[in-house]
Amino acid sequence: MAKALILASGSAVRQTLLRNAGLDFEAKPASVDERAIEQDLPETDRDPVSIARQLAIAKARDLSAQHPEAFVIGCDQTMSLGQRVFHKAASIAEARETLEDLRGNTHVLNSAVCLVKNGELLWSTVVSAKMQVRHFSEDWLTGYLARNAESILSSVGCYQLEGEGIQLFDTIDGDYFTILGLPLLPLLAALRDQGINHA
């Protein structure tokens, strides 16, 4: 009998990555208050990597409580500049501020993924990618925001690499799956270890 697998995410990108890898799963968004979880973390665990890991685990456990016999994949991604953690912009004005802060600097995308069954954490990892943003002009930024207003607010970095957001960067150090928010290769290995992925 096949082992039930649930992705605790409503992300179309993450679902596509898993589907393209040949996995049979259900996708169900978790219902957690991310900012409350973040605030409840001890001060020593509020670094960008720990926040991503704890949010991924919280999401997986939320779905695991409803489906205790299933293997649940939890994932989350934080974006950090030094120890500063960014959140999705609430407006185009905030998006402009975020991109101005990132301009000329290297920020990090910290992508966490975990596997939970019956509330028990079976495995987790966080993989990071370093993103060097170029020195773009104010005119270019204004045009970019206008052309991409709809998609910008759905991404913490106000960009999507598969779109015009790629124009923001000089260099990228990290794999594509991590940047999209799901470290796929270590996850596939963990699923094989659990006998779920028979590739």
| Residue 26 near residue 92, CB atoms below 8 Å | no
Is residue 199 pLDDT above 80, yes or no? no
- Name the band, by pLDDT with cuts 50, 70 and 90, for residue 38: confident
CATH architecture for segment(s) 5-193: Alpha-Beta Complex (3.90)
pLDDT value for 2: 58
Looking at the chain, the whole-number percentage of residues with pLDDT higher than 70 is 97
Name the active-site residue from 76, 101, 139, 173.
76
Q: Is residue 197 predicted with pLDDT exceeding 70?
A: no
Instruction: Tell me the pLDDT tens digit for each residue of 4-14.
Output: 999 999 888 89
Whether 47 is catalytic: no
Domain spans in the chain, listed from the N-terminal domain onward: 5-193
Q: How far is CA 150 from CA 30, 98, 103, 147, 160, in A?
A: 24, 16, 21, 8, 11
**Would you say residue 87 has pLDDT above 90?**
no
CB-count burial class (<10 Å; 0-12, 13-18, 19+) for 69: exposed
**pTM of the full structure:** 0.90
What is the band of 1 on the pLDDT scale with cuts at 50, 70, 90? very low
